[in-house]
């Protein structure tokens, strides 16, 4: 079964084509476009490339296209990307303005160009649909909650891959299979020894998720991708009273304040250097005070959320680092885990420094009670697997 995974950003289009056989996947092709203003030409060129490279003979050779949709009003899970999904994306376009309009346009493009091709949406919120009401409900008036304002969580495909892969690495096929079948079967009964994972997805956009026996129990992100850890240029968590105060004192409109919080904040706002951690770390090495502060704030926030899930789950067997920063920055990993020996966390400095650039590995010391792992992100593979299962079911 050939599954095309379409990853649409506000100005980018990336794709991967997999040949699926059960949970096994062979990557047949991948590519992408930057500085995208219209998706139809990109999709047309992608199909021409796949045909020209003899990967497929025509668009009819594709069995389905999967979309890593972010947030839909009153819709989550792995579902048919139909008019209901388009309405759901439209309903929350103000909450995820960089993502929802792009995915809506991409779905419509495939609908026009390949109308018979099954279209499937895997929402990033899907992984958190079994978290308790206590962990997803804000203390706000009922009328606000009726609008759908709650903690949703994001990076679901990435954290789900961590749930599956950590179980595999620990030799716990029972939990790995439970995690793989989660969207089809829900959190099935489980009675074995627990595997509790603190998953740290650290990149331009970052989040920390607690995972118990393959199921998410909570996450740092809330109603929108704006929340949680400081992002590259988005604020992360902020006291709600700051907005009316700043609007009054600086004479800003709510729209102007929102623009500053989504474009001029986060690591960029803290450092004044860049929204890229590599540039910030270089400046920090030169004793740039604000750059050092940005690094410290990020590490402190990661530790804050990791600590909350450690307490909530009653411990952990694994701390996993993934995504661009998590995979490639040993100094951040070391700082997150520093001084936690009494909790059973000991980093192997040599293994930590060697594990970079997409490598998978164990970076904890042999006598560490809690394993610390680096696992390269593979969100597209999760989408392909879930789309395949959806089509087969």
Q: Which two tokens stand for residue 104?
A: 């809506």
Number of neighbouring beta carbons within 10 Å of residue 48: 10
Running DSSP on this structure, what letter comes out for residue 17? Answer: E
pLDDT at 23 over 80: no
Question: What is the average pLDDT across 333-348?
Answer: 96
- pLDDT score, position 108: 94
pLDDT tens digit sequence for 134-187: 999 999 999 999 999 999 999 999 999 999 999 999 999 999 999 999 998 999
- pLDDT score, position 393: 83
User: Do 66 and 387 meet the contact criterion of CB atoms below 8 Å apart?
Assistant: yes
The three state secondary structure string of 249-283 is HHCCCHHHHHHHHHHCCHHHHHHCCCCCHHHHHHH
Domain 156-379: top CATH class: alpha beta
- pLDDT score, position 318: 97
**Order of strands, sheet of 215-219, starting from the edge strand that comes earlier in the sequence:** 215-219, 207-212, 196-201, 318-322, 371-374, 361-362
- pLDDT score, position 40: 87
Running DSSP on this structure, what letter comes out for residue 343? Answer: G
Would the pTM count as exceeding 0.75? yes
User: Do 135 and 151 meet the contact criterion of CB atoms below 8 Å apart?
Assistant: yes
Q: Is 327 annotated as a binding residue?
A: yes
- pLDDT score, position 156: 95
Confidence label for 89 from pLDDT (cuts 50, 70 and 90): very high
Question: What is the average pLDDT across 311-324?
Answer: 96
- pLDDT score, position 196: 97
- Distance CA(247)–CA(256), nearest Å, equals 9
Residue 319 β-bridge partners? 198, 372
Backbone angles phi, psi at 365, to 5 degrees: -70, 155
Q: Is 328 annotated as a binding residue?
A: yes
Average confidence score pLDDT of the chain: 93
Q: Is 316 helix (H, G, I), strand (E, B) or coil?
A: coil
Q: Is 379 annotated as a binding residue?
A: yes
Task: Print burial letters for 301-310: b (CB count within 10 Å at least 16), e (below 16).
Answer: bbbebbeebb
Q: How many alpha carbons lie under 13 Å from residue 74 in its C-beta half-sphere?
A: 9
> Closest Cα to residue 2, out of 33, 32, 38, 26?
26
User: Do 197 and 208 meet the contact criterion of CB atoms below 8 Å apart?
Assistant: no
- Distance CA(388)–CA(25), nearest Å, equals 10
> Closest Cα to residue 17, out of 82, 57, 70, 64?
64
Domain 2-122: top CATH class: alpha beta
- pLDDT score, position 319: 98
Question: What is the average pLDDT across 251-279?
Answer: 92
- Distance CA(364)–CA(158), nearest Å, equals 22
Confidence label for 51 from pLDDT (cuts 50, 70 and 90): very high
pLDDT at 9 over 90: no
Q: Is 43 annotated as a binding residue?
A: no
Q: Which of the residue ranges 7-21, 98-112, 127-141, 152-166 would you say has the lowest mean pLDDT?
A: 7-21
> CA Rg, the chain, in Å?
21
Exposed, middle or buried, 341 (CB in 10 Å: 0-12/13-18/19+)? middle
Confidence label for 204 from pLDDT (cuts 50, 70 and 90): confident
pLDDT at 22 over 90: no
- Distance CA(214)–CA(175), nearest Å, equals 6
Length of the chain: 393
Q: Is 7 annotated as a binding residue?
A: yes
CATH 3.30.420.40 range(s) for the chain read 2-122, 156-379
Q: Is 48 annotated as a binding residue?
A: no
Confidence label for 331 from pLDDT (cuts 50, 70 and 90): very high
pLDDT at 10 over 80: no
Residue with tokens 């018979």: 116
Question: What is the average pLDDT across 122-132?
Answer: 95
pLDDT at 391 over 80: yes
Confidence label for 246 from pLDDT (cuts 50, 70 and 90): very high
- Distance CA(294)–CA(33), nearest Å, equals 31
- pLDDT score, position 33: 87
User: Do 256 and 291 meet the contact criterion of CB atoms below 8 Å apart?
Assistant: no
Percent of the chain scoring above 70 in pLDDT: 100
Q: Is 276 annotated as a binding residue?
A: yes
Q: Which of the residue ranges 29-43, 60-74, 147-161 would you say has the lowest mean pLDDT?
A: 29-43
- Distance CA(245)–CA(251), nearest Å, equals 10
Confidence label for 34 from pLDDT (cuts 50, 70 and 90): confident
């Amino acid at each position: 079964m050939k599954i095309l995974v379409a990853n649409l950003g506000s100005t980018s289009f990336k794709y991967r084509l997999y040949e699926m056989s059960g949970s096994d996947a062979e990557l047949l092709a991948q590519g992408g476009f930057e500085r995208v203003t219209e998706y139809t030409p990109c999709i047309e060129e992608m199909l021409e490339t796949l045909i020209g490279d003899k990967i497929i003979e025509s668009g009819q050779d594709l069995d389905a296209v999967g979309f890593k949709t972010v947030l839909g009003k009153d819709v989550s899970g792995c579902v048919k990307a139909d008019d209901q999904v388009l309405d759901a994306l439209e309903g929350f376009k103000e909450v995820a303005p960089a993502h929802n309009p792009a995915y809506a346009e991409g779905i419509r493009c495939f609908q026009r160009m390949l109308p018979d091709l099954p279209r499937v949406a895997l929402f990033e919120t899907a992984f958190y649909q079994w978290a308790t009401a206590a962990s997803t409900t804000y203390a706000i008036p009922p009328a606000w909650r009726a609008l759908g304002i709650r903690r949703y969580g994001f990076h679901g495909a990435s954290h789900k891959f961590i749930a599956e892969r950590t179980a595999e690495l620990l030799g716990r096929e029972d939990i790995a299979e439970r995690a793989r079948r989660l969207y089809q079967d829900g959190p099935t009964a489980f009675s074995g020894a627990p595997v509790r994972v603190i998953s740290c997805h650290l990149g331009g956009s970052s989040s920390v998720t607690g995972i118990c026996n393959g199921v998410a129990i909570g996450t740092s992100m809330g109603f929108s991708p704006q929340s949680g850890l400081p992002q590259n240029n988005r604020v992360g968590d902020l006291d709600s009273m700051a907005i009316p105060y700043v609007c009054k004192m600086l004479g800003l409109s709510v729209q102007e304040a929102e623009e500053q919080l989504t474009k001029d904040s986060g690591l960029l706002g803290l450092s004044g250097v860049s929204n890229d951690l590599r540039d910030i770390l270089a400046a920090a090495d030169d004793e740039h005070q604000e750059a050092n502060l940005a690094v410290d704030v990020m590490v402190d926030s990661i530790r804050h959320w990791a600590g909350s899930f450690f307490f909530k789950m009653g411990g952990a067997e694994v701390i996993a680092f993934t995504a661009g920063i998590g995979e490639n920055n040993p100094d951040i990993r070391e700082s997150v885990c520093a001084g936690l020996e009494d909790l059973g966390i000991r980093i192997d400095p040599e293994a930590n420094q060697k594990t970079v650039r997409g490598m998978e590995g164990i970076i904890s010391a042999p006598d560490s009670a809690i394993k610390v792992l680096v696992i390269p992100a593979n969100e597209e593979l999760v989408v392909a697997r879930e789309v395949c299962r959806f089509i087969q079911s």
